[in-house]
Amino acid sequence: MRLIFNYLRPYYGRMMFGLLVKIAGTVAELFMPWILAHILDVVIPEVKISGQMYEVLFWGGMMLLMAVLARNFNVYANRKAAEVSKNTIYILRNDLFQKILHLSGKQTDKVGIPSLISRMTTDTYNIHHAINMMQRMGVRAPMIILGGLVITATLDPVLTLVLAGTLPFVVAVVVLISQKGIPLYGTVQQAIDVMVRTLREDVAGIRVIKALSKKEYEKKRFEKANEEVSEKELTASGVMAASGPLLNFCLNMGLTMVVIVGAYRVNAGLTQAGKIVAFLTYFTMILNAVIAINRIFVMFSKASASSERIGMVLDAEDDLVVEQFRGFPGQTRLEFRNVSFSYQGEKDKLCLEQVSFSLKPGENLGIIGATGSGKTTLLNLLMRFYDVTEGEILVDGRNIKTYPLQELRRKFGVAFQNDVVFHDTVRENISFGRELSEKQIIEAAKQAKAYEFIMEKEGGLEHVAAIKGADFSGGQKQRLLVARALAGDTEFLLLDDASSALDYKTDAYIRKQIREQKQGTTMISVAQRISSVMQSDLILVLEDGKIIGKGTHEELLLTCETYREIYKSQMGQELSA
């Protein structure tokens, strides 16, 4: 919650003013039953003597005035509350979004993408709702209870004690039931998770289920999960069902007590019957306020969980520090010096171990190896999504830690393995917020062999891609991403398995285009297919994070057993075709 208050701080003044207005409105409302009692107990006996009716009308007018004041104050305060929460959340969301965009790979891994999304959407929404409602009801409800007690105390302190006496019972009911009920809803959620997982599995595996005629089996499996949810929900809602009737009962018992105690007080001449009427009205108001507080309680606990989740992201410290550069730029284009890396930062779980190689200007690099051999990790380090655990990486002879982060990354054009096509125009997907000329975009599309299918879409470059690029085939998506990587004319071009969905012919065509037309660019290709890397000047064969082969295609065929094996399995027996 500290986080929320920090964000509210700039608005304290405005919020305070709004709250004061709210209090004024609530007080006005609280006066109404008091006037009611006053009319019945004081004014009427007077009028009976004086016969001057206008006094009743005067106090009636006062009641009306209070009603009008209450309405206008409340409307004003609600709008202020909406304004404050709007501004607060606007800034909170911007900050959170910015922070998320700047998280390092390690920090992102820790939280996870889906969780980041829900922090950005559901959690900020919960907080928005809570800030808004707490300003509206959080003041009003306690004010009604407190104010109600104060005003009734001026009417008759003893009856007030009776009224206050029921409150501990009410609090006990609320606390006990939520203490029992809320954890029960936790188990309901777990059961639901299991059920949805079963459902998701079956939707994904529908072909297998049908092929093996397992419909009935799956129906039973789902039924079990379904049963579990129902059972858990029955228990939980059974507990919660008691809260309404119990609360009502407590308050109504208090009400009866007021009548009885009131009777003794009136009999003893200590109070008047009209006051009992007023008390009953206050009672109803307080009952509603208690119910409102109950709801605020739930909202508050939700919001504070949300704010904790958000705070965790916002408080993450920048862990990719830029260092001072000393010395002179060197001759090599790219160099890895004894680089080791572990995602957990533990030395015994290395994903890359003692990786060293260097690349001269004008040379291209190919990396081949199994899944989990560390290919993508190598690229992640090069672009500094993560910092190396040991060793150094140099670009143009300068440690990459000495480049400002954005300056370093601007040197690269990248197409990742499972990358995103944004729900935006094709043009925007290629230019991606960079100021690129029409010529650059079209040229890149042509080199990536994407121009033809783009032009077949309605609107061509202005065609808006469906969500997750669903209106493009896998191969088309990859070509769009390659076009994006090519369009910037960057110093480096990183293709991380960017052509796995393309047929050999298209893949070969695109690579030829790049080699011929982007001669100043250093191309780094990561692939599972030999044909995608065999033309590189230097090929690294990775296995379990170690380089087990280094050289050109021809050299590797002679020196590296694994490389030869891969070659055989992919190209058939003929070693020369």
314-353 positions binding another protein, by CB under 8 A: none
**Rounded-to-integer distance, Cα 402 and Cα 413, Å:** 20
Per-residue binding string, another protein, 83-122, x by CB under 8 A, is x--x--xx--xx--xx-xxxx-x--x----x--xx--xx-
H or E stretch covering 368: strand 365-369
Six-digit token pair at 106?
């390690």
Q: Applying CB under 8 A, which of residues 49, 154, 211, 458 lies at the interface with another protein?
A: 211
Q: Applying CB under 8 A, which of residues 154, 324, 519, 569 lies at the interface with another protein?
A: 569
Taking the least distance from each CB to another protein, the nearer of 59 and 169 is: 59
Nearest approach in angstroms of CB 186 to another protein is: 16
Sequence letter at residue 132: N
Tell me: does residue 224 bind another protein (CB under 8 A).
no
Tell me: does residue 455 bind another protein (CB under 8 A).
no
Per-residue binding string, another protein, 497-516, x by CB under 8 A, is x--xxxxxxx-x--------
Taking the least distance from each CB to another protein, the nearer of 175 and 273 is: 273
Q: Which of 322, 334, 312 is nearest to 112 (CA)?
A: 312
Task: Give the alpha-carbon dihedral of 231, 236, 238, 240, to 10 degrees.
Answer: -160
Nearest approach in angstroms of CB 432 to another protein is: 6
Largest CA distance in the chain: 123
How many helices and strands in the chain, by DSSP H and E?
Answer: 22, 10
Q: Calculate the alpha carbon distances from 360 to 185, 334, 532 in Å.
A: 62, 7, 21
- Strand ranges (E), 305-362: 334-341, 352-359
Sign of CA dihedral 516, 517, 522, 524: negative
Sign of CA dihedral 463, 466, 471, 474: positive
Q: Applying CB under 8 A, which of residues 230, 331, 338, 437 lies at the interface with another protein?
A: 230
Q: Applying CB under 8 A, which of residues 49, 154, 267, 439 lies at the interface with another protein?
A: 267
Where in 462-481 is the site for another protein (CB under 8 A)?
A: 466-467, 470-471, 473-476
Q: Applying CB under 8 A, which of residues 4, 15, 127, 132 lies at the interface with another protein?
A: 132
Tell me: does residue 219 bind another protein (CB under 8 A).
yes
CB 133 within 8 A of CB 299: yes
Per-residue binding string, another protein, 274-293, x by CB under 8 A, is x-xx--xx--x---------
Cα angle value 441/444/448 (rounded, 5°)? 140
Taking the least distance from each CB to another protein, the nearer of 2 and 349 is: 349
Per-residue binding string, another protein, 354-373, x by CB under 8 A, is ---------------xxxxx
Phi/psi region, residue 285 (left: phi>0; alpha: psi -120 to 50; beta: rest), is: alpha
Q: Write the DSSP assignment of 392-427 as a string of letters.
A: EEEETTEEGGGS-HHHHHTTEEEE-TT-PPPSSBHH
Taking the least distance from each CB to another protein, the nearer of 28 and 359 is: 28
Residues in the chain: 577
Nearest approach in angstroms of CB 276 to another protein is: 6
Per-residue binding string, another protein, 525-544, x by CB under 8 A, is ---x--x-------------
Nearest approach in angstroms of CB 331 to another protein is: 26
Six-digit token pair at 222?
């789902």
Nearest approach in angstroms of CB 418 to another protein is: 10
Q: Applying CB under 8 A, which of residues 20, 60, 363, 397 lies at the interface with another protein?
A: 60
Taking the least distance from each CB to another protein, the nearer of 205 and 390 is: 205
Taking the least distance from each CB to another protein, the nearer of 105 and 148 is: 105
Nearest approach in angstroms of CB 417 to another protein is: 9
Nearest approach in angstroms of CB 92 to another protein is: 10
Taking the least distance from each CB to another protein, the nearer of 231 and 438 is: 231
Q: How many residues bind another protein (CB under 8 A)?
A: 164
CB 473 within 8 A of CB 486: no
Where in 386-445 is the site for another protein (CB under 8 A)?
A: 405-406, 409-410, 412-414, 416, 419-420, 422-423, 432-434
- Strand ranges (E), 172-229: none
Q: Which of 183, 186, 171 is nearest to 297 (CA)?
A: 171
Q: Applying CB under 8 A, which of residues 179, 252, 331, 517 lies at the interface with another protein?
A: 252
Q: Applying CB under 8 A, which of residues 57, 161, 175, 305 lies at the interface with another protein?
A: 57
**Rounded-to-integer distance, Cα 215 and Cα 221, Å:** 10
Where in 149-208 is the site for another protein (CB under 8 A)?
A: 192, 195-208
CB 333 within 8 A of CB 394: no
The 3-state secondary structure of 512-552, one letter per residue: HHHHHHCCCCEEEEEECCHHHHCCCCEEEEEECCEEEEEEC
Where in 63-82 is the site for another protein (CB under 8 A)?
A: 63-64, 66-68, 70-72, 74-75, 78-79, 81-82
